[in-house]
Amino acid sequence: MFPALTMQFTDSHAHLADDKVFPDVEGVVARATAAGVTAIVSVATGTDDARTCIQLAERFPGVYATAGIHPHRAAEYDEDAIRDIRLLLDDARVVAVGETGLDYHYDFSPRDVQRASFARHLELSRETGKPTIVHSREADEDMRALLREAGQGTVGVLHSFSSGRALLEEAMAMGWYVSFSGMVTFKKYEGADFVRMVPADRILVETDTPYLAPVPHRGKQNEPAFVSHTAARCAELRGEDPAEFAARTVENARRFYSLR
């Protein structure tokens, strides 16, 4: 009847606790709900906003939290912080470890500290059985090495994927997931092959709110309601039916994050 209205989505990665988003979080969640977004994973960048994410998960049905230290903030990583994160991971509303990873583009934290923090987060994932959310930018070689050395026995997602083929193949061989963001809608997007390479049961979509708003909202502040544009573009690139693809990404996110 009205398939566009009944389509459902999950935003597998949004920063609802971000200063730019939080003041209007009520509106952001309401607009997402109106757009068919039935689940939003609100991703932490440190122990402070992990607590805010948990409060949001308490406040809004369909919102879930994570706990971890973003590579930009890896300088904050020490055993005290890890102990905090480990305690937060005991909360049922916290569905993943992260986001963690490596960012050699900005280098906001020393690279050796980023690597140590990331390896420690992978240990937490193994210990708790909760998956890891991984940010990787211009660090393909070290990321592959760390996945091989420290990623065994865990499952994770390479989020807002913008890396190269070898890293994608490594992650696929390990049974990991890959999440695509609004970048896939950009005119000069060069990763179409990568969108097609990910098996149907391991692809996710996300906004990475407040960053990287998809076309036709490019330049605006991103929000979970816009995830439909990313899902539609991924479906188009893969030659799949948009409604079926959207439903599959909802199911993949539910399985990956053990959402209920």
List residues binding Zn ion (CB under 5 A): 208
Q: In the sheet that 203-205 helps form, which strands lie side by side, from edge to edge?
A: 9-14, 37-42, 63-67, 94-103, 132-137, 156-158, 177-180, 203-205
Closest listed residue to residue 153, CA positions, set 179, 133, 123: 123
- Shortest Cβ distance from residue 50 to Zn ion (Å)? 13
- Shortest Cβ distance from residue 12 to Zn ion (Å)? 10
- Tell me whether residue 7 or residue 191 sits nearer to Zn ion (CB atom): 191
**DSSP H or E stretch at residue 25:** helix 25-34
- Tell me whether residue 7 or residue 183 sits nearer to Zn ion (CB atom): 183
- Shortest Cβ distance from residue 191 to Zn ion (Å)? 18
3-state secondary structure of 211: coil
- Tell me whether residue 36 or residue 68 sits nearer to Zn ion (CB atom): 68
Closest listed residue to residue 42, CA positions, set 68, 71, 21, 63: 63
- Shortest Cβ distance from residue 208 to Zn ion (Å)? 5
Residue whose tokens read 């930018």: 137
User: Helix-strand-coil percent breakdown of the chain, rounded to 5?
Assistant: 50, 15, 35
State phi, psi for 209 to the nearest 5 degrees.
-45, 135
Residue 244 amino acid letter: E
- Tell me whether residue 7 or residue 67 sits nearer to Zn ion (CB atom): 67
- Tell me whether residue 11 or residue 208 sits nearer to Zn ion (CB atom): 208
- Shortest Cβ distance from residue 2 to Zn ion (Å)? 33
- Tell me whether residue 170 or residue 208 sits nearer to Zn ion (CB atom): 208
- Shortest Cβ distance from residue 15 to Zn ion (Å)? 6
CA distance 168 to 172: 6
